[in-house]
Structure 1
Amino acid sequence: MVVGDASLDIDTLVIGAGPGGYAAAIRAAQLGQKVLCVDKGNVGGVCLNVGCIPSKALISAAHQYESVSHGADIGIEAEGVKLDFGKVQSFKDGVVKKLTGGVAALLKANKVEYFNGEVMFISDTEARVFNDQESPRYRFKNCIIATGSRPIELKPFPYGGRILSSTGALALQEVPKSLVVIGGGYIGIELGQMYAKFGAKVTVIEGLDSILAGFDPELTKLVDKKLRGQGVDIVTGAQAKSAEQTDDEVTITYSVDGEEKQITADYLLVTVGRKPNTDGDLGLDLIDLKMTDRGLIEVDDQCRTSIPNIYAIGDIVPGPALAHKATYEAKVAAEAIAGQPSKVDYKCIPLVVFSDPECASVGYSEQEAKDKGHKVTVGRFPFNINGRALSLNATDGFVKIVSDADSGLVLGAQIAGLEASNMIAELGLAIEMGATVEDIALTIHAHPTLGEIPMEAAEVALGHPIHTFLKK
């Protein structure tokens, strides 16, 4: 407790305890800094509490439920398969509790002081932290802002009642009979497909010409096909206009090609992107940070803002709003504060959608590589002739490796299929270390595994595949 209005001295103030904030706090403490980490929510931030982790727990449960329900394809007929969604939610909550508890333990083990409350800047070297019980003031040498983001709320579709944000969709205590999703990005597709697997009738309304904008069209076509096969209606080129809700349902009005249509469902899920948390009561206007017109904080290649002792990371700075990007930037910022020459290099940020099939991408797409002036060679190998994929009855998908035709350097990769989220790591490492397709082809991969598919794709790129033939 602070006596009077005296200030406590610390080395580094970290604002936010999500994947960026807690990683920054831990790394800064490891480097000898006296660290205070402040968050008004729960340790772990959005990702661990109402984002990445709970959604993946529910997606995993939905996949298992679907597998058991459709086991007849491989000779396993299970009668009377029942879904207890309350227990599914308990499983999800247990995963969240274990991980958030683990983060709290890590902060404590690294001697990071944690304060559950809010922050208000007084100046660029001083801030007040406060909650209902206390409001100490701290003087800091450096600060790392990692306040994250929140779902964008559209005026015609205010959250509440039958209109859900992603947070609300993860907290439903029963599977809706019907669900409309506005937004066919990765959050909408992941959650929409998850509820479809649990038995909901799902309709996705997307304003663009295809779902999962920004991903290789080869990947999105596979997901689109699978969704439709699961009974999901996908309406592209559509403009959502309004919603009217009662106690039991919500009716959405939208237009396609100038024709107005309506659809009624139990719930409406709105997933049209996220907004940086830089517009609250943090007091950023008092320290005059340079920001973009989208509310993002401008930073250099060490995550330093326009004020030299203040850094910013994660969803509040330019670039994709990804937990692993925030964690990466966290370590760079903490090390920069410690005087190390760490800098960000974004060429190997993997993008992953936990759809079915999973999609993952790293580095350049084929078109991006060509646009950069490369003469490109592509190696592509399908899941449906891989022994492990066949034995898992998971044959949808492929691995595609984009390489420089002259040097053989791996420039990028795209994967659709089971475990794409894990398999992309090898190809990200290949790009990071400057490996060639020959390096991948010469690496002995265990058999029978899905991991062999990148090796096979590399052999296709080299022109001498073993388990397929080249088209002439």
Structure 2
Amino acid sequence: MKEISCKLLVIGAGPGGYVCAIRAGQLGIDTVIVEAGKPGGTCLNVGCIPSKALIHAAEEFEKVSHMAGGNSPLGISVSAPVLDLARTVAWKDGIVSRLNSGVAGLLKKARVKTVQGWATFRDGKTVEVETEIGMQVIRAETIVIATGSAPVELPSLPFGGPVISSTETLALSEVPKRLAVVGGGYIGLELGMAFAKMGAKVTVVEALPRVLAQYDAELTRPVVKRLAELGIEVMLGAKAKGLSTQGQAGKGDALLVETSDGKSAKVAADKILVTVGRKPVTEGWGLDQIDLDRAGKFIRIDDQCRTSMRGVFAIGDVTGEPMLAHRAMAQGEMVAEIVAGHKRSWDKRCIPAVCFTDPELVTAGLSPEEAKSQGEIKIGMFPFTANGRAMTRLGEDGFVRVVARADNHLVLGIQAVGQGVSELSTAFGLALEMGARLEDIAGTIHAHPTQGEGFQEAALKALGHALHI
């Protein structure tokens, strides 16, 4: 049994963990990072990156399919396209592999020692790691828990066979003819819309009265419209109850559903994608050996990501919502600097969230309803139907919305829905982080023609003098 000692031990090499380790290495801290899988965690390997690759491939295939039908307003006609999903997945895997190597190279450059294996706590300063060459014991002055999250499994629909999580969905070698999606949140709709574009007959089963319930109805309306255009059936107020093998030749499996009126129904499906949320990975690494306070199922942390045990920090999905890679990265960088003796705290004034549906959604800061609870507000909204760049990209369906205080015009929140609006999230976050007022945004010259002009116009609208509507 080998033993090594270090100043900082990071458990988990996802976005939060590897950023924490890299920054610590840059600051001259003797750092070890432990990871059972490949560097990059869920986000890089089976989440953010591969899903966006698949979404992009689906968008391109749909564009060509429209051109083949002779319906393209651009005047482009092509022969009928064919999708080889196995090649698409191989392309996606190549991107992931390059990024894996990139993360590993950055860790090495920062002089971080990487240990491959599963870590288990002995106590608050010591872990055991089961590696390919035997047990490795690591003693550290400070430990950062960055174990991430995993898909939630429904008792009535355990993963296996036709029932799959997002992980298996991103590795399919062919497009299922019929795909049932359990859960109408961002993961379910992102992947459901992608497979619909690739030719699958998609049915979404959502227990709540509407899809994307974490966003306001005005913001999600263009997405709901697009679901219908793609031929996706959405069953609202419906609960998935289990799997039924129909037993008829060629019929395959069916998802048992209790509809909103209490009746039973069957949804024929070759694959059933369950996307009902994610849970923190708090089991399997000896959490019972250390006494950490919990916030529900998550590890409780303060504004510096400290847990209830001295010398133990926790970052990322394991600490709760929002479960976003960039949140974990920001926390990881901060913790590394705290360990190095810098004065830092966790400033969550603005954590932009992006939903990569069609069209895309972006939210930053407070929603109109959240802002109203704090006092009188002004709202400015600018539609992409009045934006030249959006029109030239056939992406007029959507808008930018700015929410500000009525008294001093301090911007409290910014939202957008539309084609490619994910790229506006940086401007939104920067405006909120720097305490911009409506006048700051309205007075900033925005390049023409761009969709970003909608941001300026929304601020002008809130001030009462929009120029292009």
Checking the alignment, whether the CA contact within 8 Å between 2:362 and 2:425 is kept in structure 1 is: yes
- 2:421 corresponds in structure 1 to 420
* Secondary structure, aligned partner of 2:330: helix
For 2:272, give the aligned amino acid.
Answer: L
* Secondary structure, aligned partner of 2:64: helix
* CA deviation profile, 1:255-289 (whole Å, cap 9, x unmatched): 12111111111110000001111011x11111111
How many residues align? The count is 461
* CA deviation profile, 1:421-448 (whole Å, cap 9, x unmatched): 1112211111111111111111111111
Deviation at 1:310, TM superposition (A): 0.4
| Of 44, 56, 63, the match for 2:59 | 63
Distance 2:86 2:321 in 1: 37
Matches within 5 A, 1:27-46: 27-46=23-42
- 2:443 corresponds in structure 1 to 442
Distance 1:270 1:250 in 2: 15
- 1:268 corresponds in structure 2 to 272
Structure 2 residue 16 is the aligned partner of structure 1 residue 13: no
The TM-score, its normalising length taken from structure 1, stands at 0.96
**Which stretch of the first structure deviates more once superposed, 227-236 or 241-250?**
241-250
CA RMSD of aligned residues (A): 1.3
Deviation at 1:43, TM superposition (A): 0.7
**Which stretch of the first structure deviates more once superposed, 457-466 or 355-364?**
457-466
- 2:314 corresponds in structure 1 to 312
- 2:198 corresponds in structure 1 to 198
Distance 1:120 1:241 in 2: 36
Checking the alignment, whether the CA contact within 8 Å between 1:250 and 1:268 is kept in structure 2 is: no
Structure 2 residue 123 is the aligned partner of structure 1 residue 123: yes
- 2:253 corresponds in structure 1 to 250
Distance 1:91 1:15 in 2: 30
- 1:401 corresponds in structure 2 to 402
**Which stretch of the first structure deviates more once superposed, 10-19 or 326-335?**
326-335
- 2:147 corresponds in structure 1 to 147
Matches within 5 A, 1:200-349: 200-245=200-245, 249-256=252-259, 257-280=261-284, 282-294=285-297, 296-349=298-351
| Residue ranges of structure 1 left out of the alignment (5+ in a row) | none
The TM-score, its normalising length taken from structure 2, stands at 0.96
Change (3 A) 1:118 1:19: same
| Residue ranges of structure 2 left out of the alignment (5+ in a row) | none
Checking the alignment, whether the CA contact within 8 Å between 1:162 and 1:249 is kept in structure 2 is: no
* CA deviation profile, 1:148-182 (whole Å, cap 9, x unmatched): 01101111101111111110111110001110000
* CA deviation profile, 1:105-128 (whole Å, cap 9, x unmatched): 101111110011011212211222
Checking the alignment, whether the CA contact within 8 Å between 1:249 and 1:267 is kept in structure 2 is: no
- 1:455 corresponds in structure 2 to 456
For 1:88, give the aligned amino acid.
Answer: T
Deviation at 1:244, TM superposition (A): 2.3
Checking the alignment, whether the CA contact within 8 Å between 2:85 and 2:172 is kept in structure 1 is: no
- 2:20 corresponds in structure 1 to 24
- 2:87 corresponds in structure 1 to 87
Deviation at 1:21, TM superposition (A): 0.7
- 1:52 corresponds in structure 2 to 48
For 2:409, give the aligned amino acid.
Answer: G
Deviation at 1:248, TM superposition (A): 7.3
* CA deviation profile, 1:85-121 (whole Å, cap 9, x unmatched): 1211111111111111110110111111001101121
* Secondary structure, aligned partner of 2:346: coil
Change (3 A) 1:178 1:340: same
**Which stretch of the first structure deviates more once superposed, 90-99 or 247-256?**
247-256
Deviation at 1:136, TM superposition (A): 2.0
Deviation at 1:461, TM superposition (A): 0.8
Distance 1:21 1:42 in 2: 12
Checking the alignment, whether the CA contact within 8 Å between 2:251 and 2:268 is kept in structure 1 is: no
Checking the alignment, whether the CA contact within 8 Å between 2:159 and 2:165 is kept in structure 1 is: yes
Checking the alignment, whether the CA contact within 8 Å between 1:216 and 1:414 is kept in structure 2 is: no
Structure 2 residue 139 is the aligned partner of structure 1 residue 136: no
Distance 2:407 2:205 in 1: 43
Distance 2:370 2:400 in 1: 17
Deviation at 1:62, TM superposition (A): 0.5
For 1:67, give the aligned amino acid.
Answer: K
Distance 2:222 2:116 in 1: 44
Distance 2:156 2:466 in 1: 54
- 1:75 corresponds in structure 2 to 75
For 2:265, give the aligned amino acid.
Answer: K
For 2:204, give the aligned amino acid.
Answer: V
* CA deviation profile, 1:117-145 (whole Å, cap 9, x unmatched): 01121221122222131222121110100
Checking the alignment, whether the CA contact within 8 Å between 1:19 and 1:44 is kept in structure 2 is: yes
Checking the alignment, whether the CA contact within 8 Å between 2:378 and 2:403 is kept in structure 1 is: yes
* Secondary structure, aligned partner of 2:265: strand
Checking the alignment, whether the CA contact within 8 Å between 2:367 and 2:414 is kept in structure 1 is: yes
For 2:202, give the aligned amino acid.
Answer: V
Distance 1:51 1:248 in 2: 31
Distance 1:244 1:9 in 2: 54
For 2:146, give the aligned amino acid.
Answer: A
For 2:447, give the aligned amino acid.
Answer: A
Deviation at 1:80, TM superposition (A): 2.1
Matches within 5 A, 1:372-383: 372=374, 374-383=375-384
